[in-house]
Amino acid sequence: MKFVWFNLQPWPYLPKDFREKHRSVWVDIPNSLFDPVKGHEMYNTYLDQLEFADSVGYDGIGCNEHHQNGYGLMPSPNLIAATLARRTSRSAICVIGNSIAGYNPPNRVAEEFAMLDCISGGRLIAGFPVGTPMDTNFCMGQIPALTRDKYAEAHDLIIQAWTRESPFAFDGKYNQLRYVNTWPLPIQKPHPPIYIPGGGSIETWDFCLDHDYNYSYLSFFGYKAGKALLDGFWERRAERGDADENPYRASFAQIVCVADTDAEAEKLYAEHILYFFNNCLHIHPGFADPPGYRTINTIKANKLSQLRQETMEMFQALTWRDVVDNGLVIAGSPDTVAGQMEELAKTLRVGTVFCLQHMGDMTDWKTRYSTQLFAEKVMPRLKDIWSEYDGSKWWCQPLDDRRVNDEASFANARRSPEFPADYPEGAI
Amino acid sequence: MAVETRTVTTRRGIEAKVHTRGDGPPLVWFHGAGGLFPVESMLDMIGEQHTVHAAEWPGFGEEPTEGYLEDMLDFTLHGWDLVDAMELGETPDVAGHSMGGMIAAEMAAVNPAGLGSLVLLCAVGLWIEEHPVPDIFSMLPFELAQVLFADPVAGEAILTAGLDFSDDAALTNFLVLNARRLGTAGKILFPIPNRRLSKRLYRITNPTLLLWGEQDHLVPPVYAERFQEQLVSTAAYIETLGGAGHMLPYEQPELAARAIVTFLS
């Protein structure tokens, strides 16, 4: 199995009466609630945590894109990934991903992802979400009924920009470019592995299966609720006559909290997890499902959005027991967590888990404690699940001979100029 | 009033139902983003003086034809294709409500010779920064009546007539209809209902009636004034009716019908 450490980078200072005073944590949340000076500390703390996760042995570290969002402060995940590419050397850098339907022109993503792949030595995993309606439609202004079409064109342009003989002309419906000629190109060939974060739309399953991309279900609602959608993905695969059951074709996001005992987990993490569910998921339902965003097939199949009103109402007064018993959060001692993680992997048939280990307003020391315990006491017990499958097709293939970013290389970056031996004296 | 329904096919191959009623010179009607209602009293009353041809817009009828339309020019030309397909034999007057008014105005701007008079009821299509049109695409169903009607309680009943949301199949059917209708409308109205009609209004030379609901909270009457200012090549008259919001044809059908018939005569 592969484990990716992932944080949403939430604003941890939402007022206690946020729910009562504001209708949504996303789109129209007043930016007067943001304090840039606290933001300085916040971003650096979150980046430190990602580097810490790399240092303790996670297979990957990840980031994602949200806009105008009080629980996700990475409008540009590529900036986060760029800092990680320079400060780590080992783990995959999973950008899950760029909301390409909103980019103009989207070959900018081909360029930036290629930069990240080059800087990191081929460690990039490239995510291409259709994007939530909150981000793509309400924050980025894209027309709901045309979003999928624009997404499909953006995807085609990016793949061509990475793989076609250049320059070439791209005469798209939304993008007309006379000279597509990507500089730089990614190290990984033909391109970095592609993950498609999706909800439950049939079109997204088909898109992943058509291209053999990883279907990544990034839910906050845990593996028990997530089973229906992963089952849907695997069943769709079977319906299409696709025999490949390799679990690395799918991934899942799960909130995970590890402590010494189950009781300690509750004591340490309950308040922060409930801050997330009760404040951060307070989203105006009208932003979650603008007419035209979901396809008619998906509506008819009743694959309703995870953010629909009824779902949101479930989370108004959650308790720790609710979130733990329903599998929204896997929390407890290393034994408890390992047992449930194994159940997750096997019932959902996923090879990669995005471990959400910082949630809400969790403090730094608790985040590190949970992270370290998971790396030391849980991961080793799960590593060999699915060892009979080769997941390399859905994982990055870095250069063996790549730069090692460590204390020595940081010091090296600051060295004074050394003139070549044959440089003529007195030339300066 | 008896309504005759026929299917026309445009030269592009798009099939559309046209509901025709009444007798007299032709008036082509373009409905708003809510589609045609089961009861259209205003059209019935206009039918006493005119033959009213009400076309179903792609996305609003049974045929899944909305994929043909992507941008404003597609919408505008489809409007003319429909008029051609109706084979009216004479130049019609054209009227439209809300989104239908925007389409009618665009049609008049590209081809003023193709129609007689123009009637815009609570038309969208312009944007005044001081009076932003509320974002209907992020509203919840129960919030709509407040914005659309002068009398939200009566309006709620009009909007939900005959719908039983406790029935899953009915709810899914409603969601599909709503997604198709407002999804289609969103192509010219989302995120801001302004596709630069203001640059083209000078081309309209047809006598124009701007008929508005006094309590229109979606496109307030100040928009009628802005239309009038920008219709520089023709005489444009404003009439504002009390007791009506944005859904003027359904709240004050008789007053609206009378104003339209008077103007057209």
pLDDT tens digit string along B48-94? Answer: 999 999 999 999 999 899 999 999 999 999 999 999 999 999 999 99
Work out the minimum CA distance from B175 to partner chain A, whole angstroms. 7
Q: How far apart are CA A385 and CA A345, in angstroms?
A: 8
ipTM, two decimals: 0.93
Q: How far apart are CA A222 and CA A329, in angstroms?
A: 6
Q: Does residue A317 carry a pLDDT above 80?
A: no
In chain B, whose CA is at the least distance from the CA of A300? B172
Would you say A129 and A77 are in contact if contact means Cβ atoms under 8 Å apart?
Answer: no
pLDDT tens digit string along A387-407? Answer: 999 999 999 999 999 999 999
pLDDT value, residue A311: 53
From first CA to last CA, the distance across chain A in angstroms is 56
B235: contact with A, CB 8 A cutoff: no
Using CB atoms and an 8 Å cut-off, which of residues 109-148 of chain B contact chain A?
137-140, 143
Would you say A253 and A223 are in contact if contact means Cβ atoms under 8 Å apart?
Answer: no
Q: Do B180 and A141 count as a contact with CB atoms less than 8 A apart? A: no
pLDDT tens digit string along B143-156? Answer: 899 999 999 999 98
Quote the strand ranges of A318-415, DSSP E.
Answer: 329-332, 352-358
Would you say A5 and A59 are in contact if contact means Cβ atoms under 8 Å apart?
Answer: no
Q: How far apart are CA A262 and CA A340, in angstroms?
A: 13
| Buried-exposed string A126-159: b where 16+ CB fall within 10 A, e elsewhere | bbbbbbbbbbbbbbbebbbbbbbebbbbbbebbb
Q: How far apart are CA A215 and CA A204, in angstroms?
A: 8
- At residue A295 the predicted structure's pLDDT band, cuts being 50, 70 and 90, is confident
- At residue A7 the predicted structure's pLDDT band, cuts being 50, 70 and 90, is very high
Query: Tell me, what DSSP letter sits at residue A86?
Result: H
- At residue A35 the predicted structure's pLDDT band, cuts being 50, 70 and 90, is very high
Would you say B109 and B203 are in contact if contact means Cβ atoms under 8 Å apart?
Answer: yes
Quote the strand ranges of A152-237, DSSP E.
Answer: 168-171, 176-180, 194-198, 214-217
Q: How far apart are CA B72 and CA B189, in angstroms?
A: 10
What token pair was written down for B111? 């081809």
Chain B residues close to A294, C-beta within 8 Å: 179
Q: Do B184 and A146 count as a contact with CB atoms less than 8 A apart? A: no
Chain A residues close to B191, C-beta within 8 Å: 137-138, 141, 143
A26: contact with B, CB 8 A cutoff: no
| Residue A6 CB partners (closer than 8 Å, separation 6+) | A61, A62, A63, A64, A94, A96, A253, A354, A355, A356, A357
B179: contact with A, CB 8 A cutoff: yes
Chain A residues close to B183, C-beta within 8 Å: 144-145, 291-293
pLDDT value, residue A294: 86
Partner residue facing A144 (CB), from B70, B140, B183: B183
pLDDT value, residue A313: 56
